[in-house]
Amino acid sequence: MPQSQSTAKKPQNNQRDRAILGLTRSCGLQDEGARALRSVASPTERYPAATLITPAGSTPRPKLILSGWACELRTIEDGRRQIFSFALAGDAVVSRPASAAHSCVLMALTAVECIDVERTLSGAQDPGRQDLARAIEQSLQVARERRYTQAVRLGRRSAVERVGDLLLELYDRLQMVDLVEAGGFPIALTQEHLADALGLSTVHVNRRLRTLRTRKLATLRFGRVSGFDREGLAALAR
Amino acid sequence: MPQSQSTAKKPQNNQRDRAILGLTRSCGLQDEGARALRSVASPTERYPAATLITPAGSTPRPKLILSGWACELRTIEDGRRQIFSFALAGDAVVSRPASAAHSCVLMALTAVECIDVERTLSGAQDPGRQDLARAIEQSLQVARERRYTQAVRLGRRSAVERVGDLLLELYDRLQMVDLVEAGGFPIALTQEHLADALGLSTVHVNRRLRTLRTRKLATLRFGRVSGFDREGLAALAR
DNA sequence: CGGTCGTTTGAAGTGGTTCAAGCCTTGTGG
DNA sequence: CCACAAGGCTTGAACCACTTCAAACGACCG
């Protein structure tokens, strides 16, 4: 599946290259689609950490993440929060107006760079853009399917399994965009973020992270996961 | 396998009326769309209780439920199950080939009648069918949004809240298709189904159901919920 | 009428929460 | 360059929500 190709031109390190890499590997983006994305004059939107990524108008707008970490989340009246998913470079996400009580909100966890998909795709119907549109649609679909896995995590897994399983997902996804190296990867999440995603208390996330560390499955320190044992973790949350 | 019977008589219209009601109230189906659905000669597919609703080919196929209860679920290796959602009359659902390990399976909980959406919509592009297609797409979208609520339930609510909140959802949805009467409604779910949907043990579902009963919020007996206090339950899981 | 499946209840155990305090790291301003 | 504040991480102790196991009971079905 990882069909690593030299679609990325190294010369100047374009922000968009990582997203192109992700769409290529996970969603079968073709060269022509990559070229379309690279050449389009769509402005990069920037959101500071801890701000909402809201659409311009009042309709849901798909965005393509170029860099940074974002998440879909909902907050309930008493302040409890649930994070539904994390969005990384190369992921397409739908951002909705914050008002929609029955939906969710997209929030930047770190500084985030993204581009507006529809703005990028509007206009000419050349094959490059069509391919890009297809890949982005597929990316959204993949994200939708991941939500099933997330529900299983929340409903039917123990705390260690939840933590391990989520790290596994992040590992695999970051691998796709060349953000894994030397058996480790950067993780821009606090233990509170993990807790909100996993339906646990922060304290307990901390303790189960410790379990993973002592079992030599993964070590999270200073915004980085190291000593990652993919096989071991996969066995944990089979 | 779908056991489709070609009863091309009037009774068929009756089956479809409930779905039409649901699509009209929840998804803005217009008269012309309703007429299109009623007149189309698509055979009704029937699935017995506890069987998988699988697509004919190997691609995901949308179905429109006419009667009965179905659910989306995934089973993990050790036998634990997670139910993601319930599908009732008037709901559109996507059924996928059972092999897709990363997705989920659609299972009939009672005998289920449904029709294949694409078969129904193929052919002429009259405005009636277009309206129908739009309403069905909207129904799928509504179902997708409900998954966020389900994730909050699993991750951030206590057991009583989970049970109450789910009953509330079912009440509101059944109300839309005129299946609520006298403050109660039929519920074709065992406590084990509820447990699998809510990430709890059957025993605990039983106990929290008891809590709801003693607090006079809702009583589940013999496949029926009665004494339903909508306000009280809404306050419970605000 | 007996068998099966679903529900109900009790008692004991465990996994996760809560509260509270101390520590470490990072960033900020003097 | 140091001092200090703020936010995140870590740990302990007590508590409670939910699970597990086991047994009995009730409803439905052939």
Confidence of residue A156 (pLDDT cuts 50, 70, 90): very high
Only one residue has tokens 């000593």, namely A227
pLDDT surpasses 70 at B8:
no
Q: Are B4 and B42 in contact (CB under 8 A)?
A: no
**Mutation for testing the A interface, residue in B78, B152, B196, B202 having most A CBs under 10 Å:** B152
What's the rounded mean pLDDT across residues B188-192? 97
Query: Is residue A67 within 8 angstroms of chain B, CB to CB?
Result: no
Residue A191 approaches strand D within 7 Å at CB = yes
B15-71 pLDDT, tens digit each: 899 999 999 999 999 999 999 999 887 889 999 999 999 887 788 899 999 999 999
pLDDT surpasses 90 at A133:
yes
pLDDT surpasses 70 at B6:
no
The predicted pLDDT at position A166 comes to 98
Cα separation of A55 and A51, whole Å? 13
Nearest residue of B to residue A96, measured between CA atoms: B145
Residue pairs spanning A and B at CB distance below 8 A: 68
pLDDT surpasses 60 at A183:
yes
What's the rounded mean pLDDT across residues B131-151? 95
Distance from CA of A205 to the nearest CA of B (A): 14
pLDDT surpasses 60 at A13:
no
B151 CB neighbours in chain A (<8 A) are: 82, 84, 147, 150-151, 154
Residue A59 vs residue B137, higher pLDDT = B137
Nearest residue of B to residue A159, measured between CA atoms: B155
A148 CB neighbours in chain B (<8 A) are: 72, 74, 84, 102-104
**Among candidates A102, A103, A238 on the partner chain, residue whose Cβ is nearest the Cβ of B77:** A238
B143-184 pLDDT, tens digit each: 999 999 999 999 999 999 999 999 999 999 999 999 998 889
The predicted pLDDT at position B224 comes to 95
Q: Are B70 and B108 in contact (CB under 8 A)?
A: yes
pLDDT surpasses 60 at A4:
no
Which of A27-31, A179-183, A225-229, B202-206 bottoms out in mean pLDDT, i.e. has the lowest?
A: A179-183
Averaged pLDDT score across all residues of chain B: 90
Q: Which among B66, B61, B72 is positioned nearest to B89, based on CA atoms?
A: B66
pLDDT surpasses 80 at B13:
no
Tokens standing for residue B195: 């447990």
Query: Is residue B104 within 8 angstroms of chain A, CB to CB?
Result: yes
Query: Is residue B101 within 8 angstroms of chain A, CB to CB?
Result: no
Cα separation of B149 and B152, whole Å? 5
Interfacial B residues in 36-65 facing A (CB < 8 Å): none
What's the rounded mean pLDDT across residues A91-96? 93
The predicted pLDDT at position A121 comes to 84
**Mutation for testing the B interface, residue in A71, A99, A147 having most B CBs under 10 Å:** A147
Cα separation of A208 and A160, whole Å? 5
Q: Do B152 and A74 touch (CB under 8 A)?
A: yes
Q: Which among A40, A38, A30, A47 is positioned nearest to A14, based on CA atoms?
A: A38
Q: Do A151 and B147 touch (CB under 8 A)?
A: yes
B162-172 pLDDT, tens digit each: 999 999 999 99
Confidence of residue A12 (pLDDT cuts 50, 70, 90): very low
Per DSSP, the three-state class of A40 is: coil
The predicted pLDDT at position B7 comes to 42
The predicted pLDDT at position B59 comes to 86
Residue type, A180: V
The predicted pLDDT at position A15 comes to 83
